[in-house]
Amino acid sequence: MAGRRRGRNAPEPAAPTRAPARTRARMTGKERRQQLLDVARALFAEKGFDGTSIEEIAHRAGVSKPVVYEHFGGKEGVYAVVVDREMRDLLDLIVSALDAGHPRVLLEQAAHALVDYIDENTDGFRVLVRDSPVASSSGTFSSLLNDIASQVEHILGLQFSARGYDPKLAPLYSQALVGMVALTGQWWLEARKPKKEEVAAHLVNLAWNGLSHLEHKPKPTTR
């Protein structure tokens, strides 16, 4: 005998349920642009401008090449925005650090600002220095250093005048100080020793005391 008949009012067996398909949230134009910039910054830091292609940027971002072109017009456009953003962030960081009255503290704050930036924004700093070495007379990093030096020059000029020194020498000293800190920063980018607090302290030690009056174990005064 076949199976029992289902009663007229017996409930029908439940149909198997399907799990709802997961849909990936679509990025806004602003979010996509930021994602492309972050991906491009990492690639430019790793491979440099010449070694990076639009294809790679698009692939890592999970988009097609036309999306990159739509936002930036090409590789040059992406690179220009990445560099401009890094230059602005670093300049703002250092200028905002120069808020103390005593020149030694000012110098220490500037040194700390640079090594902090290198430590926390390594890819950004690599982008700035990779294709534009600090010793070059032109290029993005040299342009940035000149901007920073002009800020330091203004502060040094005021300090020189207040202490009876010739303020016309402020440009020379500002270039010397900024160049020393920048070159040391490039070296520390790879060395990572000693700790960044010690790097800043030793930079200030040399700049403030000179070779003939170096402290044996300099300590930071602001940290």
Q: What's the CA gap between 149 and 134, in Å, rounded?
A: 13
Q: Where are the domains of the chain?
A: 81-212
Residues 193, 194, 196: CA angle, nearest 5 degrees: 100
Instruction: Give Cα separations from 216 to 100, 212, 219 (angstroms).
Output: 25, 12, 10
Q: Tell me: the pLDDT tens digits for 84-134? A: 899 889 888 888 887 766 778 878 888 888 899 999 999 999 998 876 544
Angle separating helix axes 196-209 and 103-120, nearest 10 degrees: 150
Residue tagged 């200030």 (tokens): 204
pLDDT of residue 41: 96
> Per-residue pLDDT for 31 more than 80?
yes
CATH of domain 81-212: 1.10.357.10
Q: Tell me: the pLDDT tens digits for 134-156? A: 444 445 778 888 888 888 888 78
Q: DSSP character for 211?
A: G
> Would you place residue 159 in the very low, low, confident or very high pLDDT band (cuts 50, 70, 90)?
confident
pLDDT top residue among 42 and 216: 42
pLDDT of residue 138: 47
Q: What is the mean pLDDT of residues 28-35?
A: 93
pLDDT of residue 37: 96
